Structure 1
Amino acid sequence: MPKSDSLSTMRLESHYGDRVAPCLADRPASFFAFFQDAVRRNPDGEALVAGPDRLTWRDLDRLSGLIAAGLAARGVRKGCRVTMLLSNRKEFVLTLLAAVRLGAITVPLNIREQRPAIAYLAERIAPTVIVHEASLAHILPEPTGSAPNFVRVAVGPCEGSFPFEALLEAGPAPAPADVGEEDTLFIVPTSGTTGLPKAPMLSHMSVIHSGIVFADALGLRAGDRSVVAIPMSHTSGIISTFASFVRVAGTIILLPEFKAPSFLATASAERMTHTLMVPAMYDLCLRNPDLASFDLSSWRIGLYGAALMPSSTLVALAQTFPSLSLMNAYGTTEAGGPATLMRPEETASYRESVGRAIAGVELAVMDDTGRELPPGETGELWIKGPAVGHGFWRDAEATAREYTGGWCHTGDIVRMDAEGRVYLVDRKKDMLNRGGFKIASLEVENALHEHSAVIECAIVGRPVEVLGERVHAFVRLAQPVAEDELKAFCRARLADYKVPESFTFTTDPLPRNAGGKVLKRLLRERM
């Protein structure tokens, strides 16, 4: 696919004091300017569909300007934090763009988060305003001496909070704030797979680079329409999808949650061309008995991440949607979103790879002493580039630990082949140790995923004496299957010590964070 003009010229630049990375020579100076480019190019084109509401790019500009005036009247200034506890709805996008106009820092929170983590973040971040779902008011923290008071703005009737609609009545849109491209644009809290969330910062430059480069890598174009069923509060929603669609001035169609029947109905009615989902969501679509009744002929880009796609699902998708380009993508919040992409022509041949680095991204596989490893060897993936975050909010210790000279330490164990394709092995913290034998949970999960009855699964270590850990599988089933059958299935594909020795079966979805990754911490607590 040919490169856009914006990617034809990249140059080395110095940023954040000690970093040097290849950057786009021609880029907007701020996210507000990035958004205004979309408004100018496609003012009357459909930008956002959310339930019955349909807004053009001109509408987004006008309404977010009024909301910016309302936020300013409630104390929001350049550098203030505006926290959002909102589902996929128009108010999410409008609040984000209003904060951008004011030069404020947007902090999107996962609506599945609970009060202790929200209180912890409020104390750390000290928001000026929290815009929240009325139904979630009960999990907002009470102001304390260490967590300054904040203004509550509710979407829907809510005692003790200003109504969101009142923000529209404060007056004309204020002039856009003067911001630098290294200024923080988003704080996107990590989803807490291992404990309390951290608060990685992403600058205007970071998000703009991700949006431009990823849109180009996918071949997005004007007129593309994305159905978003993953949380907008995660980098997959706010950067990989929203920022990329700002780049092409396309259309975002928001769903508050994923249910296969409603997703398929919306995709058909809205002539969807693009979506990003986890593999289990694709599998549920394929299993829908009414799949053939939906017209999905416009669908051309199917992105997935957070897990590998089972080969049976890849085959079924190729047979059902022969014109669909399936692409596996990988990235982390701390690295600014997408970092690798598997080209569609290689997806079937390299199913276990998450692809190669996208433009401007450097990758290295490092050992525990910080030395680069040769192709084929296993180590931690480090990422460098203009989109990489510039640290954690007011946490110098975490910043020093997880960033080195502009390189982000991902915590993911990988190997990389001679052509630069990356293969995920496991998270550092998810490796099992059974009597001295190291077991990658991802390898066992991939084997189980090949069974036709398995919708999703997760491998954790069951603590035992002597051996230390035994392999335990949490498995969500489409239909009943005997434990012995799954053991035999795995035994034909894995070394004997890697075969699960015990199972927990469920028909309910496994707990996941906003990025689609299974929350193994919660599964371990269940044992």
Structure 2
Amino acid sequence: MTIPGMLREAVRDHGARLAVVDGDVRLRYRDLAGLVERAARAYLALGTRPGDRVAIWMPNRYEFIVAMLGAQSMGAVVVPMNTRYRGHEAAQILARSRSSVLVTSNGFLGLDLVGMLRAAAAEPGGQQTAGPVPGLPHLSALVNVPAGPEPAGTLPWEAFLARAEELPAAAARAAADRVSPDDVCDILFTSGTTGRPKGVMSAHRQTVDVARIWARGAGLTPEDRYAVVNPFFHGFGYKAGVITSFTAGAAVHPVPVFDADRLLELIERERITVMPGTPTLFVSLLDHPRLKEHDLSSLRFATAGAATVPETLFSRMREELGFDQVAQAYGLTECMMVSRSRPDEDPRHVAETTGPAVDGVELRLVSVIDGADAPPGEDGEILVRGRNVMLGYFEDEEATRAVIDPAGWLHTGDVGRLDEHGCLKITDRLKDMFTVGGFNVYPAEVENVLAAHPDVSEAAVVARPDPRMGSVATAYVVARPGAMADADALIAHCRARLAGFKTPREVVFVEVLPRNASGKILKTELRVRASHG
């Protein structure tokens, strides 16, 4: 029930099978294990110690897997970071986690990730320190997997791996043997409703267990070829993708950027069998003008989740994309797997519910009015308890107590109902959070960025429906008196400081924001306005 133990089992049972296929790179399980051990030795040579945080800020590629498993195998805690982050967001996560190593891929999508990070960390008010990123005193090493020009002050990937020669292999093996199932394995940061990053901690046993539950539900076998389009920095790509595949001996095919043409070619060329994703992904494939030109007959299983699901999507996935089985799932970073569709479920029922609770999870739905258990068919807040509920938020006991009650129930903030089969249907959110193309957007974070602009008095952000992304952000802004506020300028201000999916698509100027008697902004009213244009 540890990452290094899982990898040892995979090598023992599937050593000669393909583990990762990334372009021309084809790694068998024994090859992958060798690279992971080199990376673990390299981390130790850099001075990384068990419990230290190692951040990874790069797209889906085989080096991400090696960097992640290498860190976890020597006892470090992995902190995956969203590749759509801008410098301020990345600096905040690195500072909050006090990561000692950052592995990145500068030049991804033409972005100077290192330059953005250094500029943000060096802004006035920051603590100027020595190291690869002045202003981040805990960061002692910045490893770069080239995707463009090599920035000064970084350690190239190959030079990083070469550091392994400074220590014997026995040092890495001894470190792996000391990793305990209850050691923290990863911290996945989520901005939360306050806009301040909160790090969700999971133990090794939880990360491996979630993956095994997912693999069983998908019927994953060593014969499967799994195209992981979901980002490795997200639990959907990392735990339900990479780790799940390795528990079953399947082959991982990383997809760094969604491109419908290339993905269709990959499915046909590599005979992909498993490909979960967001509804946006499948809608894009279904609407592709050359869909019928590709042989997709190898596809057998998909899960679509993380956003609003069009009513006909699952039927179309079976009939037009050729999947044998489709499923819907519900989870959140704090409990990665809560429910999932039953095997061989009717696509119409799949579209309506996320299935029953998975192994090891208890579900309660309670009235938001009096806290009493909600009967089947009636809405209630979703409460979750079980072995894979997070350990807590990193160094934030107050926030942890706010969501996990003394009886161990995680209060998700989501509203749903159970049908007569015990299957869960998500109906609403108590929180303001919404998803854009499968990525969570927390309005407080966007509102804080808007409020920092000198022309803005206050702002409220809500979702409006979007046919491709499910929903996008709309900002309602009250300008400061006398300011010459400009919508395009505010959008550019956000784009420079936030990931693209968080940036408002539209800024609407209003004289006042609607409020109730207690002064709270009526976001329900704003959502109605946004949905009607």
Q: Determine if the TM-score, normalized by the shorter chain, exceeds 0.5.
A: yes
Local SS of the residue matching 2:198: coil
Specify the alignment match of 1:305 in structure 2: 305
Question: Would the alpha carbon gap of residues 163 and 193 (structure 1) be closer, same or farther in structure 2, given more than 3 Å must change?
Answer: farther
Counterpart of 1:475 in structure 2: which amino acid? D
**Structure-1 separation of matches of 2:461 and 2:221:** 49
Task: Tell me, in whole angstroms, the C-alpha distance in 2 between the residues paired with 1:162 and 1:477.
Answer: 39
What residue number does 1:319 align with?
Answer: 319
Aligned counterparts of 1:32 and 1:331: Cα–Cα separation in 2: 25
State the distance in 2 between where 1:117 and 1:107 align.
Answer: 13
How many Å separate the matches in 2 of 1:148 and 1:165? 23
TM superposition shift of 1:219: 1.0
Q: Deviations over 1:37-81 (max 9, x none)?
A: 111111111101112211111111101111111111111111111
Q: Displacement of 1:232 after TM fit? A: 0.7
Where 1:364 maps in the other structure, the secondary structure is: strand
Q: Is the alpha carbon distance of 1:32 and 1:477 closer, same or farther for their aligned partners in structure 2, counting shifts above 3 Å?
A: closer
Q: CA deviation at 1:193?
A: 7.2
1:341 is the counterpart of 2:331? no
Q: Name the CA distance, whole Å, in 2 between partners of 1:301 and 1:198.
A: 33
Distance 1:144 1:388 in 2: 38
Aligned pairs (5 A) from 1:61-140: 61-135=33-107, 136-140=113-117
Q: Percent identity?
A: 31
Q: Shift of residue 177 of structure 1?
A: 4.5
Conserved? CA contact 1:230–1:258, under 8 Å: no
Structure 2 Cα separation of the partners of residues 126 and 132 of structure 1: 16
Mean CA deviation greater in 301-310 or 78-87: 301-310
| SS of residue in 2 equivalent to 1:280 | helix
Cα pair 2:54 2:100 within 8 Å, conserved:
yes
Q: Secondary structure at the match of 2:276?
A: strand
**Which segments of 5 or more consecutive residues in structure 2 lack a partner in the other structure?**
108-112, 122-126, 130-135, 444-459, 470-493, 510-533
Alignment match of 1:160 (pick from 146, 153, 166):
153
Map Cα deviations across residues 251-300 of structure 1 (whole Å, 9 max, x no partner): 00011111111111111111101011111211110111111121111110
Distance apart, 1:317 and its partner CA: 2.4
User: Structure 1 unaligned runs (5+)?
Assistant: 1-27, 432-440, 450-455, 461-468, 479-510
Query: Which residue does 2:418 correspond to in 1?
Result: 416
Counterparts of 1:302 and 1:389, CA distance in 2: 26
Amino acid at match of 1:398: A
Q: Which residue is 1:364 aligned to?
A: 364
Deviation at 1:474, TM superposition (A): 4.2
Match of 2:279 in 1: 279
**Cα gap change, 1:524/1:396 in structure 2, threshold over 3 Å: closer, same or farther?**
farther
Conserved? CA contact 1:328–1:347, under 8 Å: no
**Aligned to 2:10, what secondary structure does the other structure show?**
helix
How far residue 214 of structure 1 moved from its aligned partner, in angstroms, is: 1.3
Give a deviation string over 1:112-161, Cα, whole Å, max 9, x none.
Answer: 11222222222221111001112211232547577424211111222111
Following TM superposition, by how much is the alpha carbon of 1:365 offset from its aligned partner in structure 2, in angstroms?
1.0
Tell me if structure 2 keeps the 8 A contact 1:334–1:389.
Answer: yes
Q: Secondary structure at the match of 1:349?
A: helix
Corresponding residue of 1:205: 205
Aligned 8 A contact 2:300 2:322 in 1: no
Q: Is the 8 A contact 1:70 1:168 kept in 2?
A: yes
* TM-score, structure 2 normalization: 0.75
List structure 1 segments (4+ residues) > 4 angstroms apart after TM superposition: 143-147, 191-194, 469-472, 516-519, 523-527
**Amino acid corresponding to residue 289 of structure 2 in structure 1:** P
Give the C-alpha shift of residue 302 in structure 1. 1.2
Output aligned runs, 1:23-34, within 5 Å: 28=1, 30-34=2-6
Q: Compared with structure 1, are the counterparts of its residues 284 and 193 closer, same or farther at alpha carbon in structure 2 (3 Å cutoff)?
A: farther
SS in 2 for 1:189: strand
Alpha-carbon distance in structure 2 between the residues aligned to 1:358 and 1:193: 27
Q: Which residue of 2 aligns with 1:59?
A: 31
User: Partner amino acid for 2:421?
Assistant: E
Distance 1:394 1:144, change over 3 A: farther
Shift of 1:320: 1.9
Instruction: Give the structure 1 partner of residue 486 of structure 2.
Output: none
Shift of 1:374: 2.0
Deviation of the 1:90 alpha carbon: 1.0
Contact 2:73–2:179 under 8 Å retained in 1: no
Return the offset for 1:205. Answer: 1.3
Q: Deviations over 1:72-125 (max 9, x none)?
A: 111111111100001101111001111121111001000111222222222221
Q: Secondary structure of 2:345's match?
A: helix
In the other structure, the counterpart of 1:151 is 141
Q: How far apart are residue 476 of structure 1 and its match?
A: 4.1
- Distance verdict in 2 for CA 1:407–1:224, change over 3 Å: same
Contact 1:117 1:196 in 2 (8 A): no
- The 1:64/1:323 distance shift into structure 2, 3 A limit, reads closer
CA RMSD in angstroms, aligned pairs only: 3.2
Kindly report which structure 2 residues correspond to 1:195-274, keeping only aligned pairs within 5 A, or say none. 195-274=195-274
1:46 aligns with 2:46: no
The one-letter code sitting in structure 1 at the alignment partner of 2:354 is V
Report the equivalent of 1:427.
429
Whole-Å separation in 2 of the counterparts to 1:470 and 1:198: 20
Residues 328 and 412 from structure 1, CA distance in 2 versus in 1: closer, same or farther, beyond 3 angstroms? same
Change in CA separation of 1:376 and 1:333 when aligned onto 2, cut-off 3 Å: same
The Cα shift of 1:207 comes to: 0.8
CA contact (8 A) 2:297 2:322 kept: no
Distance (whole Å) between structure 2 residues aligned to residue 197 and residue 283 of structure 1:
31
Aligned residue for 1:356, secondary structure, equals coil
Report the AA paired with residue 238 of structure 2: I
Of 303-312 and 259-268, more deviation after overlay is shown by 303-312
Describe the SS at the equivalent of 2:189: coil
Deviation at 1:249, TM superposition (A): 1.0
287-296 vs 340-349, which deviates more? Answer: 340-349
State the SS of the aligned residue for 2:54: strand
Matched residue type, 2:179: V
What corresponds to 1:185 in structure 2?
185
- Mapped to 2, the partners of 1:364 and 1:182 lie a distance apart of 26
- Give the SS at the match of 2:143: strand
So what's the TM-score if we normalise by structure 1? 0.76
For 1:292 and 1:185, the matched residues in 2 are separated by 43
Q: Which amino acid aligns with 1:65?
A: E
CA displacement at 1:199 relative to structure 2: 0.5
